[in-house]
C-alpha cells in the first residue's frame, strides 16, 4: 500500500482525490492532508510518505515552495493543477507526473501505477545495495543489515539493533532497540539460521535472543533469560543445555 499525503488549499479538491482513490480501489492510504504550504511541510516531515499529491498554485507559497523547504525528497510527487501553463513546462521537462483539474480517473490510475513501479524499483535498489554491502564486507558484522519486509515497508536494520525475535505461527515479531516492533511474514527458524553468526540464541521454540542483551539466566520455573530491559524470555527444556553452552562460550 502506497502511503500518501495530499496538499491542496481547497478542501473539496482533497476530498475529490480521496473519493477517486476509494472509488477505484487504488492501493493508496492517505496518511495526512494539508491546506497550506506550511502545514504541508509539517505533515510531510511527520508522516514520511511514499507519495505526495501536490497542488502547484496555492496562496502565499506554492507547491514548488513546499519542495524547496524540504532537505530530502524520499517520496514520489504527482503535481495537481488547474492551470496547464502554471509551472507545468518545468514539470513536463523533468518527466514528473501531473494531473489537471478536474482529475480524470483513468489518468489517476496511470499515475498511481507509475508511482507503484517507481517505489518497487527503489526497494529493489536498496535490497541490491544491501546485498553488495554484505558481500563486500562479509567480516564487518557490526555493519550488516537485515531486510525486514512488513506489510508497510522493507526496513533495513543493523543486527545489533535487534533485541529479540518472537514467533507467532508463520510470523516473526522483531523487537528493536528504538522501541519499535516489526512483524514479518516468515517463520522464526529462517532467522535462526540467518542470525546464527551474530550471537543469537534460539532458547525456545518461539524465541530467538541477541545475547548482547542478556543480563542473566534465571533458574526459576524451568529457566528464563533476563534481558537488559527486564524482559523474561523462557528457556525450553530441550534448549537448556545449548543455551548454557552458548552463554559460557561467549563469556570466555
Rounded Cα–Cα distance for residues 156 and 128 (Å)? 12
pLDDT confidence of residue 192: 92
Set of cell numbers at residue 63: 507547491
2-122 belongs to which homologous superfamily?
Answer: Response regulator (3.40.50.2300)
Tell me what pLDDT residue 86 has.
59
For CATH 3.40.50.2300, the residue range(s) in the chain are: 2-122
Dist CA 34 CA 190 (whole Å) = 43
Dump pLDDT digits (tens) for 181-239. Answer: 999 999 999 999 889 889 999 999 999 999 999 999 888 777 899 999 999 999 998 88
How far is residue 99's CA from residue 80's CA, in Å, rounded to a whole number?
A: 5
174 prior amide bond cis, ω within 30 = no
DSSP per position, 184-249: ESS-HHHHHHHTGGGTEEEEETTEEEEGGGEEEEE-GGG-EEEETT--EEE--GGGHHHHHHHHHH
The set of residues, in sequence order, having a beta carbon less than 8 Å from that of 104 and lying 6+ positions away, is: none
Phi, psi (degrees; rounded to nearest 5) at 73? -120, 80
∠ at Cα 209 (204, 211), nearest 5°?
A: 125
- The predicted structure's pLDDT at residue 171: 94
**Residue whose cell numbers read 559460557:** 248
Q: Whole-structure pTM over 0.85, yes or no?
A: no
Q: Could you state, in chain order, the average pLDDT of each consecutive group of 10 residues for the chain (252 residues)? A: 96 97 97 96 94 92 91 90 72 81 95 93 83 76 84 85 93 95 92 90 95 89 89 92 82 54
pLDDT of residue 129: 81
Coil vs helix vs strand at 41: helix
How confident is the model over 115-129, as pLDDT tens digits?
Answer: 999 998 888 878 878
- Provide the sign of the torsion angle of the four alpha carbons 207, 210, 213, 218, taken in this order: positive
pLDDT for the residue 95? 73
**Positions of CATH 2.40.50.1020 in the chain:** 141-251
pLDDT at 251: 57
Q: Do residues 47 and 41 touch, judged by C-beta distance below 8 A?
A: no
- Can you give the pLDDT at residue 247? 83
| Third-level CATH fold of 141-251 | OB fold (Dihydrolipoamide Acetyltransferase, E2P) (2.40.50)
pLDDT computed for residue 84 by the predictor: 65
Amino acid at each position: 500500500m502506497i502511503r500518501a499525503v495530499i496538499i491542496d488549499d481547497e478542501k473539496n479538491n482533497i476530498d475529490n482525490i480521496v473519493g477517486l482513490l476509494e472509488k477505484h480501489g487504488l492501493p493508496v492510504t492517505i496518511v495526512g492532508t494539508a491546506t497550506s504550504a506550511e502545514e504541508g511541510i509539517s505533515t510531510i516531515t511527520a508522516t514520511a510518505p511514499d507519495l505526495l499529491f501536490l497542488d502547484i498554485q496555492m496562496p502565499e507559497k506554492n507547491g514548488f515552495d513546499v519542495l524547496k523547504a524540504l532537505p530530502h525528497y524520499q517520496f514520489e510527487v504527482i503535481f495537481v493543477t488547474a492551470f496547464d501553463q502554471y509551472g507545468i513546462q518545468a514539470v513536463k521537462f523533468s518527466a514528473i507526473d501531473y494531473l489537471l483539474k478536474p482529475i480524470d480517473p483513468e489518468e489517476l490510475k496511470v499515475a498511481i501505477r507509475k508511482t507503484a513501479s517507481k517505489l518497487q524499483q527503489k526497494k529493489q535498489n536498496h535490497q541490491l545495495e544491501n546485498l553488495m554491502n554484505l558481500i563486500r564486507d562479509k567480516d564487518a558484522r557490526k555493519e550488516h543489515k537485515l531486510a525486514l519486509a512488513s506489510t508497510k515497508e522493507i526496513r533495513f536494520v543493523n543486527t545489533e539493533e535487534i533485541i529479540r525475535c518472537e514467533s507467532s505461527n508463520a510470523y516473526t515479531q522483531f523487537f528493536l532497540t528504538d522501541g519499535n516492533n516489526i512483524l514479518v511474514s516468515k517463520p522464526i527458524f529462517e532467522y535462526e539460521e540467518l542470525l546464527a553468526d551474530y550471537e543469537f540464541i534460539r532458547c525456545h521454540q518461539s524465541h530467538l535472543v541477541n545475547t548482547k542483551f542478556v543480563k542473566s539466566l534465571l533458574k526459576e520455573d524451568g529457566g528464563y533469560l533476563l534481558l537488559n530491559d527486564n524482559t523474561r524470555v523462557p528457556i525450553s527444556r530441550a534448549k537448556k543445555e545449548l543455551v548454557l553452552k552458548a552463554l559460557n562460550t561467549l563469556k570466555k
